[in-house]
C-alpha cells in the first residue's frame, strides 16, 4: 500500500465544476465541461458534479420544448461521454431528456465512456420565479426504470446508489436542486440506504441572503445524513432576463464546510475537496439512532437499487491530502472561535463543580498546587466556582507540597498563583513524611542510596494526595482533582493513593493542549480581575512539563511519553473516530510535516498505542466523577469509553509496524 496516497486511507477527492455557459448552445457548454473534467482528472478527482441543466443552460424557459435544443443536448452529451473514456472519474452532468414522450430534468452519471445511470428531478418548483412544471415532469411520474441513451440501456430513476467496488465506502446519490429544499429530501432516504456522498446538481439563481441560506442548508443536510454533500450552482452565461447567478459551489462533510467557491466569477471554475469516507461510515456505526432510522424507513430504503462501478484509480503513486487537518483538534484554529471555546469549557467545568458543591453541602475546596499547568487550571476553575456561588475565594485551600526534586521556580510560581487567585495558601514540606515511608518499607533511600525508582516517585505522589484528603477531612472540604485527559490516556498518573484520585476532578476530559490555551486565555483576557498578577500564568505556560519527582536535573514528561501535541492528536482520532494507527499517522504527517518527521510520528504513536490500549485502562476504570467537556470524548467508564483493563495492544502495534519510516 502506498502510504502517501489519500485513496489508501479511505479519502475521496470530489469536485464541483461551474462552467461558463451559453444559453441554448450545448456544444459550447460541453466543451467547457470537458475542459474542467480533464483538469480535475489530472488532480486525482474521483467524482465531479456540474450544474443543473448545464448542457443546455437552466434559463432556456420554453426553448426546452424545441427539438433542436433537445437533440443538441444529446449530441453534447455524446461529446462529454467520449471525453470520459480515458478519465478515471465519475462525471455528473445536467441536461433535459425525453423519456416516453415526456421531458425530465436529469442528471446523467458517466464513467469511462459508460452511462452508469440517469436520475430525474423529483420536486419541481412552481412558485416565485420558478415554473419548471411548465416544461418538465417529476421523476415520480416516470413509467420506466431503464432508458435507451446514446446506444446504451441505462438505469433511470431517482432511487439509485452508485457504488464504487474498488473504493467500497464511496457510494453516490444524486438529487437536483429543489430536491434538497424540501422537508424530506430524497437524499435523506439515500443516506439511510448507504449513500455516503450526496450530490446536488443545482442552478439556483441568487438573491440577497440566498448564498448564506444555501450554505446552511447544505451543511445541515450533510450533518443530518452523516454524509458528504456536493452542491453546484449555475454561473456566468445564464440568462439575466429576470434573474442573476452567482456560481456558488459547496462541499460539506457531516456539517463541516470543506470548501466553497468564490462567487460571481466570469469564467469557468471549480473547487475540490478531500472527503473522509471512513469518518462518515464510523459516525453512522457509532450513532445508533442512524441504524434505528434505517429500520424505521425500511420500505423507502429497500426501494433503492445499487449500480456498481470501478474507478480504477492509480493508488501506487503519491497523492497528497488537500484538506486542512488541524494540528490541535481539541483547539479551534480561529482566534474568535478559540475564545468562545475557552469560555464554554470554563462554564462547563464551573457548572459541574458548583453543582457538586451545592448537592453535597460542602463549601470548601482543597487543591494541590504544583506551580505547573494542570493544577493552575483547576485552581482557576475553583475560583470561578466560588465566585458563581457567592463564596469567598478564601474557601479554597491551596497547598503546595515541595518534595525531593521540587524546583524553586515551580514553588515560587505556586505561591504567586495562590496570591493572585486570592485563596488560602499553605505550604507543606512532604520530604520528612516521604523519608519516613521510604524507611518503613525498606527502600534503599533509607541508607542514602540514590535509587530513584517508581517507588521513590510514587511515595511522593501518594503523600501529597494523602495530605490533601486528610486536610479536606480537617477543614470540611472537597479534594479537587487536577489530572487531565491526556494523562489519563497515557496512564501518566499514580494509581489510587496518588494524583489518580480525588473527590471530584474538573480536568478529566480536558486535554493538555486545550488546558494550555485555557490558561493563556485567562491571562490575556484578564479573567482573574483587574490588578492581579497574570504574568504568573504566562510563566507557568513557559515552564517545562515535569512531575519533579527525581533529583539531579530536569525530569521531562514529554521525553518519556512523547510530545503532548502529537499525543493529543493521536488521542482525538483514536477516541473520537476509532482510526487505525496508519491513518492517524497519515493525518499527523499532513498536519505536522513541518515540525516532525514521519519516523518521529511513528515512534510517538507506538508509545501511545502501547500505553493507551495495553497499560493504562485499569486506571481509567475507576476514576473519580468529572464533567464531560468536549465532543472529542472522555475516558470515564461511565461515559464515552468502556474497555477491559486487561486487553492487548497487538493489533494496533501491528498496524504501527505498517507505517513507513519515510514517505512511501
Just list the catalytic residues: 52, 121, 177
Contact between 564 and 572 (Cβ < 8 Å): no
CA-based torsion, 62, 65, 69, 74: positive or negative: positive
Q: Which are the contacts of 307, defined by CB distance < 8 A and separation ≥ 6?
A: 109, 116, 117, 155, 160, 161, 162, 163
Number of alpha carbons in the 13 Å side-chain half-sphere of residue 610: 11
Start-to-end CA distance of the chain, whole Å, equals: 9
* CA 310 distance to own-chain centroid: 29
Question: Annotated binding residue at 583?
Answer: no
Question: Annotated binding residue at 210?
Answer: yes
User: DSSP letter at 100?
Assistant: T
Q: Which are the contacts of 349, defined by CB distance < 8 A and separation ≥ 6?
A: 381, 506, 507, 510, 627, 629
Question: Annotated binding residue at 495?
Answer: yes
Question: Annotated binding residue at 370?
Answer: yes
Please choose, from the candidates 115, 139, 173, the residue with its C-alpha nearest in 3D space to the C-alpha of residue 306: 173
Number of alpha carbons in the 13 Å side-chain half-sphere of residue 124: 17
b vs e for 513-552, b when ≥16 Cβ sit within 10 Å of the residue's Cβ? bbbbbbbbbbbeeebbeeebebebbebbeebebbbbbbee
Question: Annotated binding residue at 204?
Answer: yes
Question: Annotated binding residue at 127?
Answer: yes
Question: Annotated binding residue at 373?
Answer: yes
Q: Which are the contacts of 404, defined by CB distance < 8 A and separation ≥ 6?
A: 431, 434, 456, 460, 549, 550, 551
Q: 486, exposed or middle or buried, with CB in 10 Å at 0-12, 13-18, 19+?
A: buried
- Other CB atoms closer than 10 Å to residue 511's CB: what's the count? 29
C-alpha to C-alpha distance for 394 and 477, rounded to whole angstroms? 12
Question: Annotated binding residue at 293?
Answer: no
Question: Annotated binding residue at 482?
Answer: yes
Question: Annotated binding residue at 371?
Answer: yes
Phi and psi at residue 260, in whole multiples of 5°? -140, 140
Contact between 156 and 120 (Cβ < 8 Å): yes
Contact between 398 and 379 (Cβ < 8 Å): yes
Question: Annotated binding residue at 574?
Answer: no
The label of the residue with cell 445524513 reads: 225
Helices (H), 551-594: 557-561, 564-575, 581-592
Phi and psi at residue 418, in whole multiples of 5°? -65, -35
Question: Annotated binding residue at 474?
Answer: no
User: DSSP letter at 146?
Assistant: E
Phi and psi at residue 603, in whole multiples of 5°? -60, -45
Question: Annotated binding residue at 374?
Answer: yes
Question: Annotated binding residue at 487?
Answer: yes
C-alpha to C-alpha distance for 664 and 656, rounded to whole angstroms? 15
Question: Annotated binding residue at 494?
Answer: yes
Please choose, from the candidates 161, 186, 190, 189, the residue with its C-alpha nearest in 3D space to the C-alpha of residue 305: 161
Contact between 540 and 372 (Cβ < 8 Å): yes
Question: Annotated binding residue at 492?
Answer: yes
Question: Annotated binding residue at 457?
Answer: no
Q: What is the DSSP string of 33-94?
A: HHHHHHHHHHTT-SEEE--TTTTT-GGGGGGGG-HHHHHHHHHHHHHHHHHGGG--SEEEEE
* CA 383 distance to own-chain centroid: 32
**Annotated binding-site members for ATP:** 368-375, 482
**Annotated binding-site members for L-glutamine:** 127, 204, 210
**Annotated binding-site members for deamido-NAD(+):** 458, 487, 492-495, 619
**Annotated binding-site members:** 127, 204, 210, 368-375, 458, 482, 487, 492-495, 619
Amino acid at each position: 500500500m502506498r502510504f502517501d496516497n489519500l485513496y489508501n486511507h479511505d479519502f475521496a477527492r470530489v469536485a464541483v465544476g461551474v462552467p461558463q455557459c451559453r444559453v441554448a448552445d450545448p456544444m459550447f457548454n460541453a466543451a467547457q465541461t470537458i475542459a474542467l473534467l480533464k483538469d480535475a482528472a489530472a488532480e486525482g478527482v474521483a467524482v465531479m458534479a456540474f450544474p443543473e441543466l448545464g448542457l443546455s443552460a437552466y434559463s432556456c424557459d420554453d426553448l426546452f420544448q424545441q427539438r433542436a435544443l433537445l437533440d443538441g443536448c444529446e449530441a453534447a452529451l455524446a461529446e462529454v461521454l467520449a471525453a470520459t473514456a480515458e478519465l478515471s472519474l465519475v462525471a455528473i452532468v445536467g441536461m433535459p431528456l425525453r423519456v416516453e414522450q415526456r421531458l425530465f430534468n436529469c442528471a446523467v452519471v458517466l464513467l469511462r465512456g459508460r452511462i452508469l445511470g440517469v436520475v430525474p428531478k423529483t420536486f419541481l418548483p412552481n412558485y416565485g420565479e420558478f415554473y419548471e412544471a411548465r416544461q418538465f415532469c417529476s421523476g415520480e411520474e416516470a413509467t420506466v426504470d431503464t432508458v435507451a441513451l446514446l446506444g446504451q440501456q441505462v438505469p433511470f430513476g431517482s432511487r439509485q446508489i452508485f457504488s464504487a467496488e474498488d473504493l467500497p465506502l464511496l457510494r453516490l446519490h444524486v438529487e437536483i436542486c429543489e430536491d434538497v429544499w424540501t422537508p424530506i429530501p430524497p437524499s435523506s432516504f439515500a443516506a439511510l440506504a448507504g449513500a455516503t456522498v450526496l450530490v446536488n446538481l443545482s442552478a439556483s439563481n441568487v438573491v440577497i441572503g440566498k448564498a448564506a441560506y444555501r450554505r446552511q442548508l447544505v451543511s445541515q443536510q450533510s450533518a443530518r445524513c452523516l454524509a458528504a454533500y456536493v452542491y453546484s450552482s449555475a454561473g456566468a452565461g445564464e440568462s439575466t432576463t429576470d434573474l442573476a447567478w452567482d456560481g456558488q459551489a459547496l462541499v460539506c462533510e457531516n456539517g463541516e464546510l470543506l470548501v466553497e467557491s468564490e462567487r460571481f466569477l466570469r469564467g469557468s471554475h471549480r473547487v475540490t475537496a478531500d472527503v473522509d469516507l471512513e469518518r462518515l461510515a464510523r459516525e453512522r456505526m457509532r450513532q445508533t439512532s442512524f441504524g434505528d432510522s434505517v429500520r424505521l424507513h425500511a420500505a423507502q430504503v429497500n426501494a433503492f437499487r445499487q449500480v456498481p462501478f470501478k474507478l480504477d484509480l492509480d493508488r501506487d503513486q503519491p497523492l497528497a491530502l488537500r484538506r486542512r487537518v488541524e494540528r490541535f483538534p481539541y483547539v479551534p484554529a480561529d482566534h474568535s472561535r478559540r475564545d468562545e471555546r475557552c469560555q464554554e469549557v470554563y462554564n462547563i467545568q464551573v457548572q459541574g463543580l458548583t453543582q457538586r458543591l451545592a448537592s453535597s453541602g460542602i463549601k470548601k475546596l482543597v487543591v494541590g498546587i504544583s506551580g505547573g499547568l494542570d493544577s493552575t487550571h483547576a485552581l482557576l476553575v475553583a475560583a470561578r466556582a466560588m465566585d458563581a456561588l457567592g463564596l469567598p475565594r478564601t474557601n479554597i485551600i491551596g497547598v503546595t507540597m515541595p518534595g525531593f526534586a521540587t524546583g524553586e521556580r515551580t514553588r515560587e510560581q505556586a505561591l504567586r498563583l495562590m496570591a493572585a487567585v486570592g485563596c488560602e495558601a499553605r505550604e507543606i514540606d512532604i520530604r520528612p513524611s516521604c523519608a519516613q515511608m521510604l524507611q518503613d518499607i525498606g527502600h534503599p533511600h533509607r541508607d542514602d542510596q540514590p535509587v530513584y525508582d517508581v517507588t521513590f516517585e510514587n511515595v511522593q505522589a501518594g503523600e501529597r494526595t494523602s495530605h490533601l484528603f486528610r486536610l479536606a477531612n480537617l477543614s470540611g472540604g472537597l479534594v479537587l482533582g487536577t489530572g487531565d485527559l491526556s494523562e489519563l490516556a497515557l496512564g501518566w498518573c499514580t494509581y489510587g493513593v496518588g494524583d489518580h484520585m480525588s473527590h471530584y476532578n474538573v480536568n478529566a476530559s480536558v486535554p493538555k493542549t486545550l488546558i494550555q490555551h485555557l490558561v493563556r486565555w485567562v491571562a490575556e483576557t484578564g479573567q482573574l480581575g483587574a490588578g492581579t498578577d497574570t504574568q504568573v500564568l504566562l510563566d507557568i505556560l513557559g515552564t517545562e512539563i515535569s512531575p519533579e519527582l527525581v533529583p539531579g536535573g530536569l525530569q521531562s514528561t514529554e521525553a518519556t511519553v512523547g510530545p503532548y501535541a502529537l499525543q493529543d492528536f493521536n488521542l482525538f482520532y483514536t477516541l473520537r473516530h476509532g482510526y487505525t494507527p496508519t491513518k492517524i499517522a497519515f493525518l499527523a504527517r499532513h498536519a505536522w510535516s513541518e515540525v516532525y518527521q514521519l519516523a518521529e510520528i511513528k515512534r510517538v504513536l507506538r508509545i501511545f498505542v502501547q500505553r493507551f490500549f495495553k497499560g493504562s485502562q485499569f486506571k481509567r476504570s475507576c476514576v473519580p466523577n468529572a464533567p464531560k467537556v468536549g465532543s472529542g470524548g472522555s475516558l470515564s467508564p461511565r461515559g464515552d469509553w468502556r474497555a477491559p483493563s486487561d486487553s492487548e495492544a497487538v493489533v494496533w502495534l501491528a498496524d504501527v509496524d505498517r507505517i513507513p519510516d519515510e514517505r512511501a
